[in-house]
């Protein structure tokens, strides 16, 4: 096996935390989700601690060994700070795992954050973190069950979000036209009409286990990942039943089902060009596309169902560099970079090369002491990872693309494993407005700011403000 270099060698000169616990007195009387706002905005330098944590985790890690660093960023070339902004508490005292997804806005709007729990799905304004639309009790009861994943939908007939559940169903949520503050359950996939249309045909029924048959449009196990294409025309879902399914939007019909992996599929991501990446417990990341780079006819894959020939997805490549199950995958840099995190405690970095028809591993981001459960990317070269060690790490890609800097380590504030992370940049107009409104310097022209959200298995969602300058 070829050895991989460690890309994380530079740490920010200033990372810090605000008030760790926040106010936990929020209740369901004023809103569906309790909100605790940290009053502290100070930052404390922890760069030496972050470097020590990286060194300790790397020396004791069982993940892939490293080669000399490829990083061109140095600790003296950047300054980073972060502050705890808000905590969104679960509805009840009983813990219920939460998942989050962020959608970046334009230069004037701050985007949205989708927070999903078994009892509630809510949209939050990214700039204020106030709930703009929330599901009601009746819809929550209809979608009862553990929420495994969530994705934001945009420009799809008012659809706002889609959630994947333990019962193998996907649920689409729309903002009510009559009551914008209400998020209503629009459909559960596969839809009733799709089931009725395919049920009479015997070939549409497949054996999922002994003496048990289902329609091929149905997931036979928990839906573990969901993602939408950039143009809003397709939706992709993966499941512990080892399959990848393709759905049409806005018709919500299942177009194709593919036997994707040899073990449970844990995550899915879509590049701007429509290329799909799936991550599995079989230690592999697989690449799917509608056409082959060499323009040859796609090979037939046993068990594949549905899809028109010119729109069918098929296997392009298998990326096998992880030494343990792969839990998360994210696409960055406009589709030119891929990040995958797994039980080997590291985030592998894959980049597209002209000589290859797919991604190749160029290095690893290390520092987590336990399995990496989630990875997210944001414009500006930011990569965020959440781990079973209850920490969140933020990595910044160098301008020349040759290295990464660990600019923030958020530790000691989550009481459970970090299940989901999301990040989105703060629009420049909001930074100028804030600087002009409260008299605080908004930072130099080269300063960048992101909102980072982290959700843990105890149901808490914490929101952070991360600033990086000097790169």
Residue 308: asked if its preceding bond is cis (omega within 30°), the reply is no
4 pLDDT above the threshold of 70? no
DSSP assignment letter at 49:
H
Q: Residue 192: is its pLDDT beyond 90?
A: yes
Task: Give the chain's domains with CATH numbers.
Answer: 79-291+311-427+446-469 (2.130.10.10)
Q: Which of 312-326, 434-448, 451-465 has the lowest mean pLDDT?
A: 434-448
Percent of the residues in the chain that have a pLDDT greater than 90, as a whole number: 42
Place 74 in a pLDDT band, splitting at 50, 70 and 90: very low
Of 32-41, 119-128, 420-429, the poorest mean pLDDT is in 32-41
On the question of pLDDT at 294 being above 60, the answer is no
Mean pLDDT throughout 52-61? Answer: 41
Q: What mean pLDDT comes out for the span 329-355?
A: 91
Q: Beta strand 120-125 with 131-134: parallel, antiparallel or unpaired? A: antiparallel
Which residues have CB under 8 Å from 169's CB, separation 6+?
Answer: 188, 189, 219, 223
Look at 5 and 165; give whichever has higher pLDDT: 165
Confidence band of 286 (pLDDT split at 50, 70, 90): very high
Average pLDDT over residues 26-44: 37
pLDDT score at 150: 93
pLDDT of residue 90: 77
Q: What is the pLDDT of residue 95?
A: 53
Q: What is the mean pLDDT of residues 380-402?
A: 91
What's the whole-number mean pLDDT along residues 145-161?
79
Edge-to-edge, what's the strand order for the sheet holding 337-342?
326-332, 337-342, 347-352, 359-365
The dihedral built from the CA positions of residue 185, 187, 190 and 196, taken in this order, carries a sign that is positive
Write down the pLDDT at residue 453: 93
Among 74-83, 343-352, 364-373, the range scoring the smallest mean pLDDT is: 74-83
Question: How high is the mean pLDDT of the chain?
Answer: 77
**What does the pLDDT read at residue 101?**
85
Q: Based on C-alpha coordinates, what's the Rg of the chain? A: 22
Lowest pLDDT segment from 52-61, 166-175, 314-323: 52-61
d(CA 201, CA 195): 11
The average pLDDT across 2-10 equals: 49
> Confidence class of residue 401 from pLDDT cuts 50, 70 and 90?
confident
Higher pLDDT, 85 or 66: 85
Q: How many CB atoms within 10 Å of residue 294?
A: 6
Residue 335 backbone class (left: φ over 0; alpha: ψ -120 to 50; beta: rest): left
How much is the pLDDT for 45? 35
Predicted pLDDT of residue 49: 40
Q: Which range (123-132, 382-391, 424-433) has the least confidence?
A: 424-433
Higher pLDDT, 288 or 78: 288
Rounded CA-CA distance 466/13 in Å is 13
What is the reported pLDDT for 211? 75
Per-residue pLDDT at 60 exceeds 70: no
- pTM value is 0.82
Q: Regarding predicted confidence, which is higher, 108 or 458?
A: 458
Alpha-carbon gap, residue 250 to 122, rounded angstroms = 21
User: Which pLDDT belongs to residue 91?
Assistant: 65
Q: pLDDT, tens digit, for every residue of 217-250?
A: 999 999 999 999 998 899 999 999 999 999 999 8
pLDDT at 82: 80
CA distances from 137 to 88, 140, 168, 271 (A): 18, 5, 21, 35
**In this predicted structure, what is the pLDDT of residue 159?**
62
Whether pLDDT at 378 is above 90:
yes
Instruction: Report the pLDDT averaged over residues 63-76.
Output: 43
* DSSP single-letter state for residue 426: P
């Amino acid at each position: 096996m070829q050895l991989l270099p460690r890309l994380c060698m530079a740490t920010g000169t200033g990372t810090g935390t605000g008030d760790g616990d926040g106010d936990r007195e929020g209740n369901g009387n004023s809103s569906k989700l309790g909100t605790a706002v940290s009053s502290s905005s100070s930052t404390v330098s922890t760069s030496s601690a972050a470097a020590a944590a990286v060194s300790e985790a790397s020396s004791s890690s069982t993940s892939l060994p490293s080669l000399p660093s490829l990083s061109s960023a140095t600790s003296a070339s950047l300054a980073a700070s972060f502050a705890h902004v808000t905590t969104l508490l679960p509805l009840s005292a009983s813990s219920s795992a939460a998942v989050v997804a962020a959608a970046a806005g334009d230069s004037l709007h701050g985007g949205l954050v989708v927070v999903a729990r078994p009892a509630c799905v809510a949209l939050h304004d990214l700039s204020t973190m106030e709930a703009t639309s929330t599901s009601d009790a009746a819809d929550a009861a209809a979608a009862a069950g553990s929420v495994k994943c969530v994705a934001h939908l945009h420009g799809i007939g008012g659809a706002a979000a889609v959630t994947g559940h333990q019962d193998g169903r996907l649920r689409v949520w729309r903002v009510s036209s009559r009551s914008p503050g209400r998020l209503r359950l629009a459909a559960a996939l596969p839809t009733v009409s799709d089931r009725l249309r395919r049920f009479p045909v015997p070939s549409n029924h497949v054996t999922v286990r002994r003496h048990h048959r289902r329609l091929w449009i149905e997931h036979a196990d928990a839906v573990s990942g969901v993602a939408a294409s950039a143009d809003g025309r397709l939706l992709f879902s993966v499941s512990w039943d080892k399959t990848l399914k393709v759905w049409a939007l806005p018709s919500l019909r299942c177009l194709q089902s593919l036997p994707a992996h040899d073990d449970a599929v844990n995550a899915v991501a879509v590049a701007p060009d429509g290329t799909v990446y799936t991550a599995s417990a079989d230690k592999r990341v697989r690449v799917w596309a509608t056409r082959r780079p060499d323009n040859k006819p796609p090979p037939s894959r046993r068990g594949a169902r549905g899809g028109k020939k010119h729109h069918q997805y098929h296997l392009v490549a298998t990326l096998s560099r992880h030494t343990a199950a792969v839990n998360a995958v994210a696409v960055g840099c406009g589709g030119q970079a891929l990040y995958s995190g797994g039980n080997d405690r590291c985030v592998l970095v894959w980049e597209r090369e002209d000589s290859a028809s797919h991604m190749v591993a160029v290095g690893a981001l290390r520092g987590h002491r336990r399995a990496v459960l989630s990875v997210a990317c944001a414009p500006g070269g930011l990569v965020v990872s959440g781990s079973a060690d209850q920490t969140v790490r933020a990595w910044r890609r160098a301008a020349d693309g040759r290295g990464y800097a660990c600019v923030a380590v958020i530790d000691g504030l989550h009481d459970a494993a970090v299940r989901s992370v999301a990040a989105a940049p703060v629009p420049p107009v909001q930074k100028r407005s804030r600087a002009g409104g409260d008299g605080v310097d908004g930072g130099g022209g080269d300063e960048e700011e992101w909102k980072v959200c982290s959700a843990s298995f105890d149901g808490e969602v914490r929101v952070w403000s991360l600033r990086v300058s000097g790169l």
